[in-house]
Amino acid sequence: MRLTVLGSGDAFSGSGCNAGYLVDSHVLVDCGAPAHTLMRRVDASAPDLTMILLSHFHADHTFMLPQVLGGYALTVEPSPRGLIIAGPVGTREYVWRLLADGYGQHIQELMERNTQPRFVALQDGSDVELAGYRVRAHAVVHSLGPSLAYQLTDASGTTIGFSGDSALCAGLRHAIDHELAACGCPVGVHQLK
């Protein structure tokens, strides 16, 4: 499994690009600024994507979705594997509203028609196979609205975790303890401060 950090800076300081992580060049976890241009710098592009995974709906994690989806929808040959967009409950409505508000209903309809994404709503305890990966979701504490931490596991058993902007909380502890137990390591993250 190959992880490429496109951005991990905070929302307001301008000290780095916003949240965006590319896994194996075809899974995008969060879609902050400027994911669509940074992907090209690492030899990846929107048409290569098979899944977009959103941790929560804040702008610094989602506002480049219209550009990424436009790059996917308006390409000559998008991935024949299709595109999955997964995230907290309400992801489908959020994505279409973001596109319609940003570019108008006609562009939203064009992208929906050309992309035909499969939306998957995840919640605390979700454990599903998506785009060739096992995706486990844990509810975490961050601001208002639903927020999820994820464990993404490939066919070889390699796992990468993503927590969005979570504080240390029960969901994050559970996600970390679950992975430590799976690899035979002692658990007890709850002792961290």
Pairing of strands 159-162, 148-153: antiparallel
Q: Which tops the pLDDT comparison, 159 or 11?
A: 159
Give residue limits of the domains in the chain.
3-184
Per-residue pLDDT at 133: 97
Give the CATH H-level superfamily of domain 3-184.
Ribonuclease Z/Hydroxyacylglutathione hydrolase-like (3.60.15.10)
Using DSSP's 3-state secondary structure scheme, residue 148 falls into strand
Query: According to the model, what pLDDT value does residue 191 have?
Result: 41
Contact 130, 26 (CB under 8 A): no
Which pTM was predicted? Answer: 0.87
Contact call for residues 88 and 122 (beta carbons, < 8 A): yes
Kindly state the DSSP code that residue 26 receives in the 8-state scheme.
T
Give the N- to C-terminal CA distance of the chain in Å, as an integer: 30
Give the tens place of pLDDT for each residue, 102-148.
888 888 888 888 888 999 999 999 999 999 999 999 998 877 778 89
